[in-house]
Amino acid sequence: MTGGDAYRVARHLAEVGRHADAAARLRAALAAEPADADLLTLLGYVLRRQRDYVAALAACDAAVAADPGLAGAHAERAESLIALIRDRDAVAAAREAVRLAPHEPAGHLVLARALAAGRSFAEARAAARNGLALAPGSAEGLLTLADVERGAGSRDAAEEAARAALAIDPVNAYGRWLLAMLDAERLHVGRSLRALRDVAREDPAHPDVISMTWPIRSLLSALRRWFTAATVLVAACALVALWWSPAAPTGRILAALFATVVTGFAVRVLIPAGRLPWRCLRLVPGLLRRATRAATVTVAVMIALLLGYAATGRGWLPVLALAGVPVLWGLGLAELFGARLDDPGFAHWLRTVGQELRDWGGELGEWWRETKRQLRETWNDDNPAPPRPGPPR
């Protein structure tokens, strides 16, 4: 089988989701033609789809080395770099793809994704629109623009682009997922979860269980921000009341009000969600599951303490609730890490950062040892030791 035949067969296998078979075909073909940039680029794509981002980047590096003028190799390399959270390198690779093939929409779209990953939303929006201008009927282009707009906080524009993409490709799973998450951000709980459940049913081997826990996690995320401020305010009133008694009734009223509002908000989000988020919570990575459950318990305890203060006026109750604030934020950080620990790109980034910190620590230790040695030598030069007394003559 020639390289061209192998490329066509592997591409067909990748299109139908048989990525392992496609990778095997490509490796067999590359054994005979190791410098075929097209085969290496397609191998990079297939490996990225298998979430083997390091190997995908290596294949793309080899493709660029074999044919530096191949725009597709630079574009695919940028995709792997985005997955590995190397945003600046991804932008550079995507810009090279655009420079080599300015009339190809793919380069502009990957540039938009790379810029959005680095939170340069204005440039990302312009790149996405450039890609769309070159391919007006591209569902991928519209979904890229929707992603950029969502990241920038423009939910209406994101929804408009996502719906336009689905008008072109009604069964696009990513477009439907994106609309569901936009509904989630607007607290359209039932509609969002129904859409996520439908997407999961179409791919039962790889359900996105983390997304389906959004009612619990979004509730906790919102509470971490403003419930913290509310608890601090009530605790401050309780402490001021030790010296100025009129502050006590205000604090108790605020405690009752905040606890009631939090409870109502939780009911507003969790009741329409039903049992699905709690069932999915059992399937998420362990750190995320434990952090979410512990944060839920922490919020419940803080609400109970505020209600207790509202009912009894005992000043130590809101102070104890205040102690839950750093716990809640610490659990939020653990939840953030836990949600991404099953992402190979994030795990590789963590290992890279850890190695860089160890290297930096080693260099710092070496610098400190060298500095101490130089200080000792300088001291000895400036303060020579007195001669030892010799034996009496």
8 Å CB contact between 327 and 298: yes
138 conformational bin, left if phi > 0, alpha if psi -120 to 50, beta if neither:
beta
Of 189 and 381, which is predicted with more confidence?
A: 189
pTM value is 0.80
pLDDT band with cut points at 50, 70 and 90 for residue 393: very low
8 Å CB contact between 251 and 234: yes
User: Residues with Cβ < 8 Å from 57, sequence gap 6 or more?
Assistant: 44, 77, 80, 81, 84
- 180-219 pLDDT tens trace: 999 988 888 888 988 888 888 877 767 788 888 888 988 8
User: Residues with Cβ < 8 Å from 128, sequence gap 6 or more?
Assistant: 108, 109, 112, 141, 144, 145, 148
The identity of residue 222, as a single letter, is A
As a CATH number, domain 3-207 is 1.25.40.10
CATH 1.25.40.10, the chain: domain bounds:
3-207
- 304-334 pLDDT tens trace: 999 999 999 888 899 999 999 999 999 999 9
